[in-house]
Amino acid sequence: MQSRMAVAASASALALTVTATGCSEEQDYGLGERVRIGIKFDQPGLGLERTDGSFTGFDVDVARYVARELGYDKDDIEFKETRSADRETALNSGDVDFVVATYSITDARKAQVDFAGPYLLAHQDLLIRIRGDIKEVADLNGRKLCSVTGSTSAQNVKKNLAPNAELTEVDSYSECLEALKNGDVDAVTTDDAILAGYAAQDQYVNKFEIAGLRLSNENYGIGVKKGNTALVDGINSALEKMVDDESWYRAVLDNFSPANYNYEPAPGIGVVVK
């Protein structure tokens, strides 16, 4: 009788310990019953909302994997559109728990938010027509270059790399790709991962290629509200596991392979390439 009571008491104590541990971990992350993740809604191959309301892309796959490792089912994820200009505000206001949205790690941004990762090393590059004659960035001088209005990539080309390029600025990269397809421009510039996502769309497969010039290093990280080191550590552990079990590589191939994207190997967690 006493033995059975002792076993029962031990079991109860163990259950309480497990429950308390689970609660403390959730509180340490600062997350609720649902996790709110900021992504892009309009970037094919990275973060795209389909017409049926579902989401697809490499950033989406990374976000779902991380959320699962943090203890959330697919149905417990709420994706929230987070445009580039709104990422810091969304994190600091608590509108999202973390951001996975082609978010390059920079010193200026690190002053406002914390980062896990990086989870992808991208580069500024050019998208050109297959078998075109642009072999290096200087070949853009006298040619028509397309990017979105206010793009730092386009300004980098004009200011530092090919000052005599004729720059066309439009509202979206989709407009740039249509102009490239129609011969109205000679190249499109932004990060190679973004270019690969657009070029992987069915209507553009086998029409374009990435020049492979690697004009900058863009370390994509996962943004977290400043000071939440427990969440940063939890996300980093999830990213390491994603690489180790090869889910990271499958996600790259699933989203970028139609564009023949010559992607970099998975970066080391915490290793920012200057």
Distance between CA 264 and CA 58 in Å, rounded? 14
H helices of 82-172, where? Answer: 87-92, 107-110, 152-156
Distance between CA 36 and CA 240 in Å, rounded? 21
Q: Is 167 helix (H, G, I), strand (E, B) or coil?
A: strand
Q: How many CB atoms lie within 10 A of CB 207?
A: 14
Q: Is the peptide bond before 118 cis (omega within 30 degrees of 0)?
A: yes
Q: How many CB atoms lie within 10 A of CB 27?
A: 10
Was domain 124-210 assigned CATH 3.40.190.10?
Answer: yes
What is the signed CA dihedral for 147, 152, 158, 159, rounded to 10 degrees? 180
Enumerate the β-bridge partners of residue 128: 209
Which pLDDT score, from 0 to 100, does residue 194 have? Answer: 97
Which pLDDT score, from 0 to 100, does residue 36 have? Answer: 98
pTM of the model: 0.88
Q: Which of 255, 270, 265 is nearest to 64 (CA)?
A: 255
- Residues 6 or more apart whose CB falls under 8 angstroms from that of 270 comprise 117, 236
- Residues 6 or more apart whose CB falls under 8 angstroms from that of 106 comprise none
Q: Phi first, then psi: give them for residue 104, nearest 5 degrees.
A: -65, 135
35-119+220-259 adopts what CATH topology?
Answer: D-Maltodextrin-Binding Protein; domain 2 (3.40.190)
Handedness of CA 50, 53, 59, 61 (dihedral sign): negative
pLDDT tens digits for range 64-115? 999 999 999 999 999 999 999 999 999 999 999 999 999 999 999 999 999 9
Residue ranges, CATH 3.40.190.10, the chain: 35-119+220-259, 124-210
Lay out the sheet containing 47-49: strands in order across: 42-43, 47-49, 55-56
Tens digits of pLDDT across the chain (274 residues): 444 444 444 444 444 443 333 333 444 798 999 999 999 999 999 999 999 999 999 999 999 999 999 999 999 999 999 999 999 999 999 999 999 999 999 999 999 999 999 999 999 999 999 988 999 999 999 999 999 998 999 999 999 999 999 999 999 999 999 999 999 999 999 999 999 999 999 999 999 999 999 999 999 999 999 999 999 999 999 999 999 999 999 999 999 999 999 999 999 999 999 9
